[in-house]
Amino acid sequence: MSAQAKTVRMTYREAMRQAMRDALRRDPRVFLMGEDVGRYGGCFAVSKGLLEEFGPARIRDTPLSESAFVGAGIGAAMGGMRPIVEIMTVNFSLLALDQIVNNAAAILFMSGGQFNVPLVIRMTTGAGRQLAAQHSHSLEGWYAHIPGIKVLAPATLEDARGMLWTALEDPDPVLIFEHGSLYNMEGELAADAGAVDIDKAVLRRSGSDVSLITYGGTLGKTLAAAEELAGAGISAEVVDLRTLRPLDTATILDSVTRTHRAVIVDEGWRSGSIAAEISARIMEGAFYELDAPVARVCTAEAPMPYAKHLEDAALPQAPAIVECVRAMVGNRG
Q: What does the domain layout of the chain look like in residue ranges?
A: 7-190, 202-329
Number of neighbours of residue 224 by Cβ within 10 angstroms:
15
Residue 122 Cα to chain centre, angstroms: 10
Per CATH, 7-190 and 202-329 having the same topology is answered yes
pLDDT of amino acid 299? 98
Whether residue 11 contacts residue 18, with contact meaning beta carbons closer than 8 Å, is answered with no
7-190: CATH architecture: 3-Layer(aba) Sandwich (3.40)
* DSSP designation for 102: I
pLDDT of amino acid 204? 98
pLDDT of amino acid 330? 80
pLDDT digit string (tens) for 173-225? 999 999 999 999 999 999 989 899 999 999 999 999 999 999 999 999 999 99
pLDDT digit string (tens) for 296-312? 999 999 999 999 999 99
Q: What percent of the residues of the chain are helix, what percent strand, and what percent coil, each to the nearest 5? A: 40, 20, 40
Class of domain 202-329: alpha beta
Separation CA 244–CA 140 (nearest Å): 8
Q: Is 186 helix (H, G, I), strand (E, B) or coil?
A: strand
Helix extents (H) in the chain:
12-26, 50-54, 66-78, 97, 107-110, 140-143, 157-169, 219-231, 249-259, 274-286, 308-314, 318-329
pLDDT of amino acid 5? 73
What residues are labeled active site? 66, 135
Residues of the chain with pLDDT under 50: 1-3
Whether residue 298 contacts residue 269, with contact meaning beta carbons closer than 8 Å, is answered with yes
